[in-house]
Chain A
Amino acid sequence: MNAISKLLSQKSNIFYIVFDKDFKTMEFSPTIEEIIHDEIEKGLDVRESMWELVGLEEKILKLIEGDDAIHFPMILKGATYYDLDVETFFSAKGVKLFIAYLIKKNKESLSYVATIKEINKKSLIYETEDKKNQEEQYKLINKRVINFNVDMNGMITSANDAFAYFFDIRRDKILGEHFSNFFKARDSNFNDKETIIFNAVNKNDEIVSFHANIIPIGRDNVIYENIIICQDISSLKEIEKELVFAAGNDSLTGVANRSQLLDKMDEAIIKSKNLNASFSACFIDLENFKLVNSDYGRHAGDMLLKHVAKILSNFVRKNDMVARISGNEFAILFDSISDTQGIGVMLERIKELAIKNPLIYTKDDVIKFTFNISLVSYPKDANNAEKLIKVADKMMCLKKRDS
């Protein structure tokens, strides 16, 4: 046994100390001072050099009775990590002795130690900073979210910093005021409501919309106050505007779509009826558009449609409307032009627009295009918007057939 242990300690990172049941040191590895720095000597109490064994006496003596070996992993001494195992064995004289193995940890274990240390360090920073961060975040949120308390008559009883900041007013000027002096709502009484929409003018004279949650507070089923928490919903208003725009406009070119054109034509019809007047609209077919798509690709086709929408929009007057009513068809609703001469001049100029403004798709690809135009007038050609478009379509088809 001793020979094997000696061999082990010479060949590897395993060291040993042998001791008897009185804890007297019997033998140890010749190189054990690599780990044990205290005085170690045969005959001395093993616990003088192996502090790890203090307190374990009972457990160690039980090893003689067949208890499992004692194992302590990752003991740090100086800069060295080792595992400690205590076992029993029979000496050559047949006496049961104890052997403590000290197994020095390899480089991989040390790299594991470094990793765990780093993780623990970060975890500690995270845990200790977390509370601080929460307070900071609360402050930031509080700056953005206005909240205030009102009594059952709507008088403000408390307000947060965000309230004062939003209106650029001292807090003592807020307390005791009726909330409607600051926030406008359709209904100035919000008892029994859970939410309400407010509008308010901020310190920069901008109108801001708020969605407010109303939280009643009370005691013994009697509500005596409400907490109002206001969240800025200006961005929702922007989204609403975008949705309204998308409903009435062509997504590719941005000009009005067929639906908006029909609405506008209906309005023009009513106006004309009331004034006993007339109006005209021209319908523009982008000729040979399919060829552009097949020769240059769909992207070029899209670019051409955008280009046409742009030059038509730049050409018309402020109150005229340019619309894209289908794939390659546009329309212009002229406001208050009905005389034949004026319209004739206008149509010629529109045709010239196409000739003068080819699409410069790339340095080498200049896409030329022409318009096929038909003109309809109310009430001469039809008495409602849909019929006017149908008449225009018919005219367009006839022109195409003739050409």
Chain B
Amino acid sequence: MIAYKVVMVGDFGVGKTSLVRRFVDNSFSEDYLSTIGVSISKKSLGNSTVMLWDIEGDTEFKPIFKQYLLGAKGFIIVADVTRKNSLESIQKHIELCHSIVSGAPICVALNKSDAPHAISEETIKSLKSLSPSIVEVLKTSAKNGDAVLEIFYMLDKNVSQTIKNRS
């Protein structure tokens, strides 16, 4: 059994907490309760246990506290498909993750895909090409559960394999 840390990174209000809640408890709430600081959840996935660090989102006046990213084995960068600004921040978040843990695998969740949006396959392709560390870019919906398990399992598979290879 291996245990490792994954950090959810993204702008404020993109649905990081909702993705964690959907993944860990299979629950969802429409109410937006901004995360302040960090909330840590544990989830067992077969042979591994993931510690999910749901950190305070990036805002104009309060950047992400880098220390929270220490020791992470993987990252899920979350953006809101309905908010252009959050999509434009993905590059910045990739750079932040790699400044703390160089080369760590990243999955990008384009969340709130249940809402009307204009994300094309080309956009997804261009996001994938932002970094070789990007394992997958998926349109997710914490509201209806679309691709939520998929993205966490995808990252788990990649991280577990990396850990096994190192040991």
Contact = CB atoms under 8 A, between A and B. Distances in A.
Contacts of B12: 120, 123-124
A116 B12 CA distance: 11
A127 to B, nearest CB: 6
A121 B38 CA distance: 17
The B interface is mostly helix, strand or loop, or mixed, namely loop
Interface in A112-156: 113, 116-117, 120-121, 123-124, 127-128, 131
Contacts of B71: 54-59
A72 interface: yes
B67 A72 contact: yes
Interface stretch (A12-20, A74-82, A303-311, A366-374): A74-82
A124 B65 contact: no
A116 B57 CA distance: 11
B106 to A, nearest CB: 16
Contacts of A47: 3
A121 B30 CA distance: 12
B5 to A, nearest CB: 3
A54 B34 contact: no
Given A56-B71, A120-B59, A76 B51 contact: no
Contacts of A72: 38, 67-68
B36 A116 contact: yes
B37 A73 contact: yes
Contact of A116 (B5, B34, B70): B34
Contacts of B67: 71-72
Nearest to B101: A55
Interface string B5-38: 1000000110000000000000000001111111
A52 interface: yes
B82 interface: yes
B139 interface: no
Contacts of A59: 70-71
B70 A75 contact: no
A71 B62 CA distance: 18
Interface residues of B, number: 31
B93 interface: no
Interface string B69-102: 0111100000000110100000000000000000
Contacts of A124: 12-13, 32, 34
Contacts of A57: 71
A90 interface: no
Contacts, number: 80
Contacts of B32: 120-121, 124
Nearest to B61: A119
Nearest to B112: A128
A77 B39 CA distance: 7
A72 B53 CA distance: 12
A93 B133 CA distance: 47
A81 to B, nearest CB: 6
A55 B51 contact: yes
Given A117-B34, A127-B13, A51 B42 contact: yes
B130 interface: no
B72 A73 contact: no
Contact of A128 (B36, B51, B59, B83): B83
Given A75-B37, A117-B36, A123 B13 contact: yes
B85 to A, nearest CB: 7
Contacts of A123: 12-13, 59-60
Given A55-B70, A123-B12, A76 B36 contact: yes
B40 interface: yes
Contacts of A70: 70
A117 B33 CA distance: 7
Contacts of B35: 76
A70 B66 CA distance: 13
Interface string A23-43: 000000000000000000000
Contacts of B40: 51-52, 75, 77
Contacts of A77: 39-40
A11 B92 CA distance: 44
A303 B132 CA distance: 84
Interface in B34-59: 34-40, 42, 51, 56-57, 59
21 contacts: A55-B73, A56-B5, A56-B71, A71-B67, A72-B38, A75-B37, A75-B38, A75-B40, A76-B35, A76-B36, A76-B39, A77-B39, A81-B37, A120-B32, A120-B34, A121-B32, A123-B12, A123-B59, A123-B60, A127-B83, A128-B83
Given A117-B34, A128-B83, 7 more contacts: A52-B40, A59-B71, A74-B36, A76-B37, A77-B39, A113-B37, A124-B34
Task: Give 4 closest A-B pairs by Cβ, nearest first.
Answer: A74-B37, A55-B71, A55-B5, A120-B34
